[in-house]
Amino acid sequence: MSGSGRAPGASLVSNTVEAIRLIRRTAPREYVLLLVCTIVSGIGLVLLLVAGRELIRDLTVADRPDDIGPLVPSLVGVAVGTGLTTLASAVQAEVRWLMAHLVERQSVTTVVDVASAVSLAELESPDFQDHLQRTLRQAAQRPWDLVQAVSQLAGAAVGGLVGAVVLATVEPWLVPAALLVGLPVLLVAGRNSRAMFVAVSAITPINREREYLQELLTGRDEAKEIRAFESVEHLRQRYEQRYDDEIEGFRAVSRLRSRRLLLAGVGATVITVATLAVLVGLSIDGRVPLADAAIGAVAVQQLTTRVRGIGGSISSIQESSLFLDDHAAFVDRAHRARAGSTSPAPARTAAPDGAAVALDDVSFTYPGATVPALRGVSLALRPGRVTALVGANGSGKTTIAKLICRLYDPDGGAITWDAALTGSGGLPRVGVIFQDFLRYQLSAHDNIALGDSRRHVDRAGVEASARASGADTFLTRLARGLDTWLSPAFEGGTDLSVGQWQRVAMARAVFRDAPVVVLDEPTAALDPLAEREMIDGTTALFGDRAVLVISHRFANVVNADDIVVLSEGEIVERGTHETLMARGGTYAEMYTTQAAAFGAERHA
Ligand SMILES: Nc1ncnc2c1ncn2[C@@H]1O[C@H](COP(=O)(O)OP(=O)(O)OP(=O)(O)O)[C@@H](O)[C@H]1O
């Protein structure tokens, strides 16, 4: 489902052609096999009808044979015809199943690629999340529907053609009469497809909420808290409620579709019965011989069933088409993201005065937020110097870290990076530990090596990074050392303490070997000795790098070369510990408060 550039609401024909192309591209061998099966099945059907007619003729003529001998050729024809159609449909079922998996893989991978390509701001938006959820769910189901529909369409077309040809040899004008059964089916097809698409779109936000509740109720990490707080029952009830809402939505659309299909079915039945009645009348009048009338009746049945099948397949393709258009619109998001990401392109510009990164009068408001997270922030990170960011909760510290990693682009002002900082993907090379750093449920080696995927197999580098961050002390004691899976949910796996995880995250940042290092609360979970060790070791670890430390713990901050104090998204003070203390402003107040708390504890 490449889908790029396709107009929304593209015609049924072009969508069907695209669906066939997609299937041919992703499953070429299976596509050919399915074609061969369809042809074999068609040949079998022709044999069955022609030999069947001969058999009925031989049995109904006045001088019918006394023994089976003369009937053998038609009996063989019927047997071979039956064998071929049965064989072909058995193989077709298996091939379709495999095809659906191949096509599903292709379309789900496209969805994954889009989610990886869009900006973080877009990824976070509810509209994108709804679209992602819808596309992901449909990506798993629609290919199967599509494969079924397209192959059934081919089978029904061949079967219908055979029926039409046979019926034409009996009474040609009965063919267009029988074809009329397709009309009511096609009339409801478009309406029903749209009704389903609208229902699925409306249900998606409810579905997302229900799936989130499901994750809470089944997740390992979530289990601790929801059990300790005894909120399982409450969450389960909300989960049931959301499921009820979802099912009610599907019930409503199903009732609507069933009513329409019922009407279409009645119309098609009336047409079929009328065609058969005409045929019987012609036979009674003696204008059509009995054998021809009998095979004509089979042909009418064959033709009308297949035409209804064609209508059903087209309806299914039409429904999938709407989802394919939706999928194409989703893929276009990635194209737009790629086109958009090149326009501001500040990442390669040299930062002024030898700085590794410089923020100049930067303002930023999160998408959907009303208050700016940053206003007029100017600051430079220089090689060999440690800059510390302090400030109250929500003052914008982590936002600065995200902008430095270029996860968002500023709304105003500019960020410039040293040209040498630009990594392979156009993003600046920054080694970062976020407050909520990732704990990969992969091996300990992976957890460190994912700091720089280009050197993923560099075992010596991973070991050196583990040593540098102090993570080696506990990683080497694990059952399989660095190859131990850091999750008890996997066979032979184990978990770490929060502080140990923090050291692993630090090892990942060290392994990245980047000229700029951002440490957002790097010691929050460390014991006092480990914290001291980490602070003292920062210079040794990142001596010649530009380091940004964000911390509420002043022990991490006092020795920084520059301390920047943020309040409500603005820089209110900057300087060294000594100058800021002498100034007696916000920093001095925060520091004194923390120091006093320690003093109070000591004397308590
Ligand atoms: N993804 C987001 N979408 C919308 N608003 C956000 C988002 N992330 C943060 N904010 C808001 O931006 C402001 C700054 O948040 P930020 O995380 O930078 O604060 P902080 O100084 O790091 O706080 P803390 O000390 O608690 O970690 C806050 O008001 C916060 O609510």
On whether residue 38 sits in a domain, the answer given is no
Task: Let me know if 369 is exposed, middle or buried by CB neighbors in 10 A (0-12, 13-18, 19+).
Answer: exposed
Which residues in the chain show pLDDT less than 70? 1-13, 15-16, 62, 64-65, 140, 143-144, 147, 338-352, 422-426, 537-539, 598-604
Domain boundary among 322, 341, 360: 341
Listing DSSP states for 256-324 in one string gives HHHHHHHHHHHHHHHHHHHHHHHHHHHHHTTSS-HHHHHHHHHHHHHHHHHHHHHHHHHHHHHHHHHHH
Q: Looking at ligand 1, which residue's alpha carbon is closest to its atom 12?
A: 373
CA of 374 to the centre of ligand 1 (A): 10
On whether residue 349 sits in a domain, the answer given is no
Q: How many CB atoms lie within 10 A of CB 61?
A: 12
For residue 493, the number of C-alpha atoms closer than 13 Å in the C-beta half-sphere is: 15
**Helix, strand or coil, per DSSP, at residue 515:** coil
Residues with CB under 6 A from ligand 1: 124, 366, 369, 373, 391, 393-399, 435
For residue 189, the number of C-alpha atoms closer than 13 Å in the C-beta half-sphere is: 22
CA distance 280 to 276: 6
Same domain, 445 and 333: no
Domain boundary among 473, 491, 513: 513
CA proximity to 558, closest of 578, 574, 584: 578
Give residue 599's pLDDT: 62
Q: Which atom of ligand 1 is nearest to the CA of 521?
A: 27
Same domain, 322 and 448: no
Pocket test for ligand 1, best of 122, 395, 432, 568 (most atoms within 8 A of CB): 395
CA proximity to 355, closest of 428, 432, 407, 434: 428
Domain boundary among 341, 363, 392: 341
Q: Looking at ligand 1, which residue's alpha carbon is closest to its atom 3?
A: 366
Pocket test for ligand 1, best of 122, 389, 390, 399 (most atoms within 8 A of CB): 399
Same domain, 131 and 250: yes
pLDDT for 495-530, tens place per residue?
A: 999 889 999 999 999 999 888 999 998 777 777 777
- The total domain count for the chain is 2
On whether residue 493 sits in a domain, the answer given is yes
CA 602 to centroid of chain Cα atoms:
53
On whether residue 578 sits in a domain, the answer given is no
Q: What ipTM does this complex have?
A: 0.98
Give residue 368's pLDDT: 85
**Host domain of residue 314:** 100-341
On whether residue 36 sits in a domain, the answer given is no
Q: Looking at ligand 1, which residue's alpha carbon is closest to its atom 7?
A: 366
On whether residue 255 sits in a domain, the answer given is yes
Give residue 438's pLDDT: 92
Quote the tokens at residue 192.
């029903």
CB neighbours of 578 closer than 8 A, spacing ≥ 6? none
pLDDT for 91-100, tens place per residue?
A: 988 988 888 8
**Helix, strand or coil, per DSSP, at residue 332:** helix
Give residue 241's pLDDT: 96
- CATH number, domain of 183, equals 1.20.1560.10
On whether residue 232 sits in a domain, the answer given is yes
On whether residue 409 sits in a domain, the answer given is no
Give residue 86's pLDDT: 93
Same domain, 174 and 315: yes
